[in-house]
Amino acid sequence: MSLQKKYLMTPGPTPVPAEVLLKMAAPIIHHRTPEFEAVIKEAEANLQYVFDTKNDVLLFASSGTGVMEGAIVNCFCAGDTVIVARNGKFGDRQKLIAQTYGLQVIDLQYEWYEQVKAADIEAALKAHPDARGVIVTQSETSSGVLNPVRDIAAITAEYEDVVLIVDSITGIGAVECRTDEWGLDVVMTGSQKGLMLPPGLAAVSVSEKAWRAADRSTLPKFYFDWKKHRKAMKESMTPYTPAVTLILGLNEALKLMREEGLEAVIARHSLLASATRTGVEAIGLKLFAPPEGRGSAVTPVWAPDGISSGKIVGIMKREYGVTITNGQDAYKDRIFRIGHLGYFGPFDIITTLTALEMALTQLGYDFEQGASIRAAEAVFLS
C-alpha cells in the first residue's frame, strides 16, 4: 500500500504546529513548583491576549462542554430563567445543559441556516424581566453561522442582573471576539480549535458582572467551581492537577499567535474562509450559512442534488487522505463542512478543493474541473 499523506480539515480537532508538538514532547514537570507557576502566569496573560480581555481567564482540563456546564453552574440557581438563542447543535447543547440543572429556558429557536436576531433577544428580555442570563453561540460549528454577539451585548449591558454567556469555542482565534470592548460577560473556548492544540483544555473569561452572578449562584459545583480556580490562579496555580503538557503547548501556540498578531490571525481566517466559499461556489455548490452571518471557522456546503455528503466525505478521506466532516443531526448526508480554523494556510484550502473536485467527479457531478481552484487562487492573489 502506498503512503497516504493526511490532511485534517475539520473544525476541531485541528492540526497542531510542529513547534507546539515539540514543546509538548518535553519531559513532564511537577505542577507545584516555581517553574510551573511561571508557566501558568504566562498562560493566563496569553489567554487574556487572545480573548481580548482584562477579565479573569480560568483554565480547565476538560473539553469545551466542561466549560459550558461550568458557566451554568457558576452563574445561576435552580429555577432561574435564562434565554437560550440557538441555531445549531451547540446551541441545542447549551439548552440541554441549562435544563439538566433545572433552569427555566426561554427557547429562541432558529433554523440552522439562520442567524440569531438581537431584536428577538431584546423582546425576550422585555417579556421576561426575571431572566438572569442570555446564552448564545458566537460561531456555530454545525452550521457555520456567525451570531451577532456584539449587538446582543449592547442589549444585555442595559440589564444589571443579566449575564451574557458566549460559546466562542470555534470563535476565539478565528473571528473577532472583543470581550471587553463589546461587554461579553462569559466567553468560552476549547484547545482543539483556534488555539492549535490537541483536545483537553478549555478556558473561560469571567467579567465583574459574571462574578456577581457567581456570588449568588447556588447550583452544585466542585471541579468547575470558578472561585476555587480564581483563588488558585491568583497564586499562579490551579486547584487540581493541571494538564501540564497541554499548557506548555498553549504557551508555545500563543507565542506563534502573538508573533502573527491577533488582527492578522483573524484576517488570515477571513481570507481562508473567503477563498473556500468562492471556490465551492465556482463549481455550482451552494453555501449553507446566510450571507449576513458567515463565520471564518468552518464552511458548510450543500451537497449537490442526488449526492450524499457522506459519500463525498468518505471518498475524500479514503482515497485522498483529506478529512472534512459531514453535516450533523438533520443535515447529516446533506451538507459537508470544511474546517479552516487554527493552523491553516492557502495551500490547505487549495488541496481540499482539489480533493473535493476529484470526489465530485467520481460521484458523477457535472462541473468545470479546476474552476474552484482557479477561483480560490484568485482570492489569494487579490
Ligand X SMILES: Cc1ncc(COP(=O)(O)O)c(C=O)c1O
Contacts with ligand X, residue ranges (CB under 6 A): 12, 63-65, 90, 137, 141, 167, 169-170, 190
Residue 74 CB, shortest distance to ligand X, in Å, is 17
Name residues whose C-beta falls within 8 Å of residue 236's C-beta, 6 or more positions apart in sequence.
Answer: 37, 38, 40, 41, 44
Would you state the cell numbers that stand for residue 153, as one nine-digit string?
451585548
Type of residue at 360: L
Residue 284 CB, shortest distance to ligand X, in Å, is 28
Residue 232 CB, shortest distance to ligand X, in Å, is 22
Between residues 55 and 325, which has the closer beta carbon with respect to ligand X?
325
Between residues 81 and 137, which has the closer beta carbon with respect to ligand X?
137
Q: Supply the Cα-derived Rg of the chain in whole angstroms.
A: 21
Would you state the cell numbers that stand for residue 56, as one nine-digit string?
479573569
Confirm if 190 and 73 have CB atoms less than 8 A apart.
no
Percent of the chain that is helix, strand, coil (3-state, to 5): 45, 15, 40
Residue 87 CB, shortest distance to ligand X, in Å, is 11
Which residue has its beta carbon closest to ligand X? 64
Three-state SS for 195? coil
Residue 213 CB, shortest distance to ligand X, in Å, is 21
CA distance 224 to 78: 17
Would you state the cell numbers that stand for residue 320, as one nine-digit string?
485522498
Between residues 289 and 350, which has the closer beta carbon with respect to ligand X?
289
Between residues 124 and 203, which has the closer beta carbon with respect to ligand X?
203
300 beta partners: 337
Between residues 205 and 278, which has the closer beta carbon with respect to ligand X?
205
Name residues whose C-beta falls within 8 Å of residue 27's C-beta, 6 or more positions apart in sequence.
Answer: none
Residue 202 CB, shortest distance to ligand X, in Å, is 7
Residue 94 CB, shortest distance to ligand X, in Å, is 8
Q: Strands (DSSP E) along the chain, which ranges?
A: 7-8, 56-60, 81-86, 104-109, 131-137, 139-140, 145-146, 163-167, 186-190, 202-206, 298-302, 322-323, 325-326, 335-339
Between residues 64 and 249, which has the closer beta carbon with respect to ligand X?
64
**CA dist list (Å): 95 to 59, 116, 121, 170, 327:** 23, 15, 15, 18, 20
Would you state the cell numbers that stand for residue 104, as one nine-digit string?
427555566
Residue 89 CB, shortest distance to ligand X, in Å, is 8
Residue 188 CB, shortest distance to ligand X, in Å, is 8
Residue 310 CB, shortest distance to ligand X, in Å, is 19
Between residues 90 and 101, which has the closer beta carbon with respect to ligand X?
90
Between residues 80 and 167, which has the closer beta carbon with respect to ligand X?
167
Between residues 111 and 130, which has the closer beta carbon with respect to ligand X?
111
Between residues 170 and 326, which has the closer beta carbon with respect to ligand X?
170
Burial of 17 (0-12, 13-18, 19+ CB in 10 A): middle
